[in-house]
Structure 1
Amino acid sequence: MNMAAARSVLVTGGNRGIGLATAKAFLENGDKVAVTYRSETELPDGVLGVRADVTDSESIDAAFKEVEAAHGPVEVLVANAGIANDKLLLRMSEEDFTSVLDTNLTGAFRVVKRASKGMMKMRRGRVVLVSSVSAIYGAAGQINYSASKAGMVGMARSLTRELGSRGITANVIMPGVVKTDMFNEVSDEMQAHYLAGIPAGRFAEPEEIARVIRWLSSDEAAYISGAVIPVDGGGSMGH
């Protein structure tokens, strides 16, 4: 651990699941870590929690100002905040669709835009967008969610073309099925169905996703940008 090299890291939706595991991974690395959250939550010692709503640009700006004052300009941004609202197409209202897009995809745009200002001045930065294998594999009932997560690929690749010469990378991580609170609500029948399609024969732990995010944000991954990295036990290969 090299405290002299501690970076300012911000993880959106960092109060549970993959986001919380990611915050802890960066904390273990000696970085200065902040997370955004929407509802009251317990956070590990050393993690700065800032209340923010990714659907509200003013809320995001206020959160960034708080983080910048405490830790300096954000050098590593993990856009992880997301929601799901699964319904079959013919039962999905337009609002069901646009609300998921507004949080997952436009929300990522809002935080990336705000973070990029500081990164361009520093001429360095790491952006990691947390997508899902649903983006490329698809899932019944997830037309809104899959579309929002697929959009992150185009965002990261365009961002790479715009900012790549400034020492800024932008990559997409695609987790498979991860054991989080959200997954605990899935029926045993559906869990068995998912498991049958995973060559690794098990579901992921949040920490396994977090470690790949941390590595993508490291100096070792400085020449990787615009990439889509599946972390899914082999479940999506070939798609």
Structure 2
Amino acid sequence: MSKKVLITGGNKGIGLCVSRAMLEFGYEIVIVARDFEDCPIVGVENVTAIEYDLSDVDNLPKLMEEVGEVDILINNAGYMQPKYTYDNYPKEAKEHLMNVDLHTPVELMNLVSVSMKKKKFGRIVNTASIAGQIGHPDVWYGIAKAGLINATKIYAKLLGTDGITVNCVAPSAAETGMQKDNDEARKKAFKAAVVTNRFAEPEEVAKAIVWLATDCPEYINGITIDINNCFYPR
């Protein structure tokens, strides 16, 4: 019986690369996203696509009733809002971003861990960001990602004795649709900060996520894999 994987935001960018890789490994995947326009794997065997607004934290238990038990959770969905400044950030925009980027991933960890603990097995991977490590012009995006990195450490400690690993990746800017929200000056500055003067390819980030979700040893738990090409070497 194949394992089931829940991938939020698995319809495009890094998430789509993860979805494709997990399919190649023979996993049953459930993708949750706001829409599936132009998603090339909708309708493919072993793919279930569920339209859901991940800012809706209150109805996540209902979502998980539809999804069912999963063996692997990949909290990949997230977005930034660089058009707002620290001193001009509307309350509604801040709350929406924090729900999608932090509150929903944490609540999904709560929900999926119930069945994982019964099976004494589970793999959880969170997509954080370098923004949560060094600060970011989009202040609430950086705050959310820093919180997700810390939540990864907390839940690794809480769930590790039940055979569940919780890890995360922290990529710098990747060549995805998120770049449309950045102006050219910011994109140029991001590229200049890495040694190869380019964004990460989504496949490069996806490979690390898939490894953490599959072949990663149990003793690797609570860690953050930096994927930033010397932007923030440590």
Question: What is the TM-score when the length of structure 1 is the normalising length?
Answer: 0.89
Do structure 1's residue 78 and structure 2's residue 79 form an aligned pair? Answer: no
Quick one: which amino acid aligns to residue 16 of structure 1?
Answer: K
Q: 2:98 aligns with which of 93, 96, 101?
A: 101
Name the counterpart of 1:147: 143
What SS does structure 2 have at the residue aligned with 1:90? Answer: coil
In the alignment, the residues of structure 2 paired with residue 158 and residue 113 of structure 1 have an alpha-carbon distance, to the nearest angstrom, of: 12
Quick one: which amino acid aligns to residue 62 of structure 2?
Answer: A
Q: 1:199 aligns with which of 186, 195, 200?
A: 195
For residues 29-178 of structure 1, what are the structure 2 equivalents within 5 Å? 29-41=25-37, 42-44=39-41, 45-46=44-45, 47-57=47-57, 59-68=59-68, 73-86=69-82, 87-140=84-137, 142-178=138-174
Q: CA deviation at 1:43?
A: 4.1
Give deviations 1:34-56, integer Å, cap 9, x for gaps. Answer: 11011243341232101222233
Q: CA deviation at 1:147?
A: 0.2
Contact residue 52 and residue 59 of structure 1 kept, 8 A:
no
Quick one: which amino acid aligns to residue 119 of structure 1?
Answer: M
126-135 or 195-204, which moves further after superposition? 195-204
How many corresponding residue pairs? Answer: 229
What SS does structure 1 have at the residue aligned with 2:177? Answer: coil
In the alignment, the residues of structure 2 paired with residue 185 and residue 57 of structure 1 have an alpha-carbon distance, to the nearest angstrom, of: 25
Name the counterpart of 1:17: 13
In the alignment, the residues of structure 2 paired with residue 29 and residue 21 of structure 1 have an alpha-carbon distance, to the nearest angstrom, of: 13
Structure 1 residues 201 and 57 mapped into 2: Cα distance closer, same or farther (>3 Å)?
closer
Quick one: which amino acid aligns to residue 132 of structure 1?
Answer: S
Higher helix share: 1
In the alignment, the residues of structure 1 paired with residue 140 and residue 4 of structure 2 have an alpha-carbon distance, to the nearest angstrom, of: 32
Name the counterpart of 2:175: 179
Q: CA deviation at 1:57?
A: 4.2
Structure 1 residues 163 and 30 mapped into 2: Cα distance closer, same or farther (>3 Å)?
same
80-89 or 27-36, which moves further after superposition? 80-89
Give deviations 1:106-141, integer Å, cap 9, x for gaps. Answer: 01112111111111111110111111101112122x
Contact residue 54 and residue 111 of structure 1 kept, 8 A:
no
What SS does structure 2 have at the residue aligned with 1:170? Answer: strand
Name the counterpart of 1:28: 24
Task: Give structure 2 stretches of 5+ with no counterpart.
Answer: none
Quick one: which amino acid aligns to residue 31 of structure 2?
Answer: V
Contact residue 102 and residue 145 of structure 2 kept, 8 A:
yes
Do structure 1's residue 212 and structure 2's residue 208 form an aligned pair? Answer: yes
Superposed CA RMSD: 1.7
Structure 1 residues 193 and 57 mapped into 2: Cα distance closer, same or farther (>3 Å)?
closer
Structure 1 residues 61 and 51 mapped into 2: Cα distance closer, same or farther (>3 Å)?
farther
What SS does structure 2 have at the residue aligned with 1:199? Answer: coil
Between the aligned residues of both structures, percent identity stands at: 28
Task: Give structure 1 stretches of 5+ with no counterpart.
Answer: none
Contact residue 61 and residue 114 of structure 1 kept, 8 A:
yes
What SS does structure 2 have at the residue aligned with 1:103? Answer: helix
Quick one: which amino acid aligns to residue 49 of structure 2?
Answer: G
